[in-house]
Amino acid sequence: MPDQVFYLSRVGVNGFKPGNAERLPVELGYLHDFTVTYQASVN
């Protein structure tokens, strides 16, 4: 799911629950994996 976190956040998903709480910082880092988007957004 790492490749989906960024795109899910762009369509309004604002809560993620990792299976292991220790991985939360890593998974939050996925929000910044991509710098190019295919369409405009307010974020």
The predicted-structure confidence for 5-29, as pLDDT tens digits, reads as follows 888 888 888 887 778 888 888 888 8
Evaluate whether 43 touches 8 at the Cβ level (below 8 Å): no
**pLDDT in the model for residue 43:** 60
- Is residue 6 within 8 A of residue 35, CB to CB? The reply is no
CA angle 24, 35, 16 (to 5 degrees): 25
Stated pTM of the model: 0.56
Contacts of 41 by beta carbon, 8 Å cutoff, 6+ apart: 10
| Number of other CB atoms surrounding residue 5 within 10 Å | 19
Residue 35's pLDDT is: 78
Using DSSP's 3-state secondary structure scheme, residue 13 falls into coil
